[in-house]
Amino acid sequence: MMPPNEQESSFPIIPGESRNETIPVQETWFSSPNHVIPCLDDDGPSHQSCQSSVLRQSLRPIILKFEELTYTIKIQSGKGSYWFGSQEPKQNRLILNGVSGIVKPGELLAMLGPSGSGKTTLVTALAGRLQGKLSGTVSYNGAPFTSSVKRRTGFVTQDDVLYPHLTVMETLTYTALLRLPKELTRKEKIQQAESVISDLGLTRCCNSVIGGGLIRGISGGERKRVSIGQEMLVNPSLLLLDEPTSGLDSTTAARIVATLRSLARGGRTLVTTIHQPSSRLYRMFDKVLVLSDGSPIYSGVSGRVMEYFGLIGFQPGSSFVNPADFVLDLANGITSDTKQYEQVEINGKLDRLEEQNSVKQSLISAYKKNLYPPLKEEFSRAFPQDQTVNMSRSKTRLTSKIDGQRVGGCNSQFY
């Protein structure tokens, strides 16, 4: 990890590009999104759920912190007989490479990246469910994953498992009866299920069967909302979701993300992976983490993503671009200069792979140089007593020139 130079701007200028050397960093560039105000008394969209003091008590704010997560798997080379097993030695494959971030109660973090970039692997690791060799640290309020954290964590996987013969109401009622604390009466548990059905807009289909396989049931979007509802029922303090909007129309997707944001504003910590959000969805995220082949290229406030990439020399082709499309292109190594990739494919020339890899590498280096040091400082501020992370308290400062004046201290609050 290269510490940025104290005296000069640490934003690299990409060689070969006519990029601006003066970096207009604003003082507020690293500040937290000021609209994020967790309110522990407001229970998000579910006002009825506030009725239960037991559930309200179960909401304990969780600061989720993950640092330098690296995950490697061993894979067979593919040579050899399928039936009798390969004689080739297994090879290591790096799935996550030095991924870090911090999410606080009241915030919604979206993980973006191309297919196969490691989003599901990362969210599974944060949910404490990843098998295999994971290095780095994940902490919940400065402590490791415990059964108490597990009880307060909800995880909505991409492939939900629901009983096809039960109705929506039955599914959520049975979940409530099974998962809610015994201090609640049966009536209160059923009320909680009804409240979640209403919050998630499932009233219209609450008596329809889930379906699946040969049984026709509720739609894919409704099914996804039932899965989210199952986790919402227990009022988790930390809610992790893998692709909650995949396969949904933009209105339903926006409704789900708005619900997630409301849940966050109610004092919860929300993390979701998302494949290709529209700009409407993107605006609802507080923070984003962008992965490229398992390595981070951005981790921070969502509203500053365009500014950051602009500062390191990557501008979008037009001023009206969806930030998500722009960062996904970058994560694939595609810049506005190399944007003629459609043409490239038509011509059958895929020899731009090398160029794309070099763009990815420069974005990964820029992240390490510019974003990781202030993030590391934020870690030490969030939990100075944290024993789970061995941090070097480097006094790195990002400095820049604005109109000839040196502006320092931008490391103060990236998050």
Ligand X SMILES: Nc1ncnc2c1ncn2[C@@H]1O[C@H](COP(=O)(O)OP(=O)(O)OP(=O)(O)O)[C@@H](O)[C@H]1O
Q: Which residues bind ligand X (CB under 6 A)?
A: 73, 75, 95, 113, 115-121, 275
Cβ atoms 399, 363 nearer than 8 A: no
The most distant pair of C-alpha atoms in the chain lies apart, rounded to whole Å, by 69
| Phi and psi angles of residue 203, each rounded to the nearest 5 degrees, phi first | -60, -40
Nearest approach in angstroms of CB 280 to ligand X is: 20
Nearer to ligand X, 95 or 206 (CB): 95
Nearest approach in angstroms of CB 113 to ligand X is: 5
Nearest approach in angstroms of CB 339 to ligand X is: 22
Nearest approach in angstroms of CB 123 to ligand X is: 8
Report the alpha-carbon distance of residue 88 to residue 132 in Å, rounded. Answer: 21
**3-class SS of residue 395:** coil
The CA–CA distances, whole Å, from 131 to 71, 120, 128, 134, 360 equal 10, 13, 9, 8, 28
Nearest approach in angstroms of CB 131 to ligand X is: 8
- 8-26 burial, b for 16+ CB within 10 Å, e for fewer? ebbbbebeeeebeeebebe
Nearer to ligand X, 90 or 204 (CB): 90
Nearer to ligand X, 266 or 294 (CB): 294
Nearer to ligand X, 54 or 73 (CB): 73
**3-class SS of residue 58:** helix
Nearer to ligand X, 122 or 205 (CB): 122
Return the beta strands (E) in 32-113 as ranges: 64-75, 91-103, 108-112
- DSSP state, residue 5: P
Nearer to ligand X, 99 or 254 (CB): 99
The alpha helices in 180-249, defined as continuous H runs, are 186-199, 220-232
Q: Which of 373, 415, 376 is nearest to 398 (CA)?
A: 373
The CA–CA distances, whole Å, from 52 to 93, 187, 233, 235, 273 equal 48, 11, 12, 11, 30
Nearest approach in angstroms of CB 117 to ligand X is: 4
Amino acid at 188: E
Nearest approach in angstroms of CB 220 to ligand X is: 16
Nearer to ligand X, 123 or 176 (CB): 123
Nearer to ligand X, 294 or 374 (CB): 294
Angle at 173 between CA 51 and CA 175, to 5 degrees: 100
Nearest approach in angstroms of CB 400 to ligand X is: 33
